Amino acid sequence: MVHFSPTGWVAQYASNPFNNLPCVVYREVHTWAADGAALVVDEQKGSLVLATSLPDFEGLHYVERLVGAVAAPPGWYQRTRVPGLAEPVIEPVAVWLVTGHGHVLPVGRNEGLPFLAPGGMDFREGVDIFFEPDAQAVGRPSGGTGEPEAPPPPF
């Protein structure tokens, strides 16, 4: 699963087991204290606190930092291989997410695939991106004849 946070870091905490299985909870690191310590939101206190002050702190992990989003031009699709499904799911790319490292990630319409929801699929695993021109969506080159022109990829 791709996680995002304002700083590019999350704090990891152990949680109460669910059905006798260990659980992990991640909290976004929202900012850094003057001494460099990670600060997370404590919902009960309604304030930022040291990540290490909350129970069951296990450590910090680097994640992606979202810096932008660009609407995808018509014609871009993603083919996602989903474990347990015989056929891949093909859907239009709705938006390209841009990370702090300059990676561009496709986001579809999420028809049954919660890519951004907790526990969703990892963008980077099992996804192919392809362009399939559609004359109605993309338009025709100058002069109105010939094959549709592909827009340049966003990366």
Encode pLDDT of 20-42 as tens digits.
677 788 899 999 999 999 999 99
Tell me: do 88 and 126 sit in the same domain: yes
Q: Domain range spanning residue 110? A: 66-138
Average pLDDT over residues 44-62: 95
The number of domains in the chain is: 2
- Residue-wise pLDDT tens digits, 84-132: 888 887 888 888 888 888 888 888 776 544 444 434 444 456 667 777 7
**Same structural domain, 42 and 78:** no
75 and 134 share one domain: yes
Domain's final residue, options 41, 62, 83 = 62
19 in a domain, yes or no? yes
Task: Give the C-alpha separation, 11 to 55, whole Å.
Answer: 12
Assess whether 96 and 128 both reside in one domain: yes
Are 50 and 75 found together in one domain?
Answer: no
Same domain, 54 and 76: no
Backbone angles phi, psi at 98, to 5 degrees: -115, 125
Segments in the chain forming alpha helices (H): 135-138
Q: Could you tell me the maximum CA-CA distance found in the chain, to the nearest angstrom? A: 67
CA-wise closest residue to 126 among 144, 104, 106, 111: 106
